[in-house]
Structure 1
Amino acid sequence: MRFATELVAWVATPWVLAGHSWLLAVLSVLVLVGLPTLFSTPGDKTAVLIAVPGWVTILLVLLQLAAAAVSSWLAWPAWAAVLVSLLAAATLVTEQRRWRWLVSSQ
């Protein structure tokens, strides 16, 4: 569920921002894809470029969830935004076990 929500964020956010500035659209992809690639908690991913505590990884996931939900409401019809919002809410529930582990791994 997390990956599906991330995909939505990667598509919907630049879609919304492209109407304002192509530079913002590109920057949004760099932030949404680049930050989680660079910063990760040891043990959560096999390849860690820059090690960060678990709470940073959680904040990065929350950024993705918020970007997906907000951008879907701005970019797409209401029925699609409702589905994305439900997906984001379900992801919040399914991520709880992982988040507990991330916080305890510090």
Structure 2
Amino acid sequence: MQRPDDRTASALRFTTEIIAWVATPWALAPHSWVLAVLSVVVLIGLPTVFTTPGDKPHNGMVPVPGWVTIALVLLQLVAAVISSWVAWPAWAAVVVSALAAVCLVTERRRWQWLLAADRVA
């Protein structure tokens, strides 16, 4: 099964990831600067280290099955939505929530491919 063209999904996913990277430490900083820093390390570090072979032009240091990559994307989406509601005005959180919902829809084909790749491997 060939990897689907996901340029639109990739742009939406990356936008949501950036929002998670900004909003999560912003939401955590008033409670603990250590958690704020740790959140950035987790949100950026885990997807950099753990990747499904064939999913990206570069492979991470640790190959993982497709469901792990899906879980990492879901972590980013959840972090973006929850953190935006905690840290930002409601109108911004609504926009982030809508973006995350659209991202879920556009990710569907890639996720099917990631899960099908698990069956082949």
**Unmatched 5+ residue regions in structure 1?**
none
Counterpart for residue 100 of structure 1:
112
Counterpart for residue 72 of structure 1:
84
Q: Quick one: percent identity of the two aligned structures? A: 70
**Unmatched 5+ residue regions in structure 2?**
1-11
CA distance in 2, matches of 1:43, 1:90: 24
CA RMSD of aligned residues (A): 0.5
Counterpart for residue 36 of structure 1:
47
Amino acid at match of 1:88: A
- Post-superposition, which runs of at least 4 consecutive aligned residues in structure 1 deviate over 6 A? none
SS at match of 2:58: coil
CA distance in 1, matches of 2:81, 2:55: 24
TM-score by length of 1: 0.98
Counterpart for residue 62 of structure 1:
74
Counterpart for residue 38 of structure 2:
27
Larger C-alpha radius of gyration, 1 or 2?
2
Amino acid at match of 1:36: P
Q: 1:89 aligns with which of 77, 101, 114?
A: 101
Equivalent pairs, count: 106
CA distance in 1, matches of 2:26, 2:55: 30
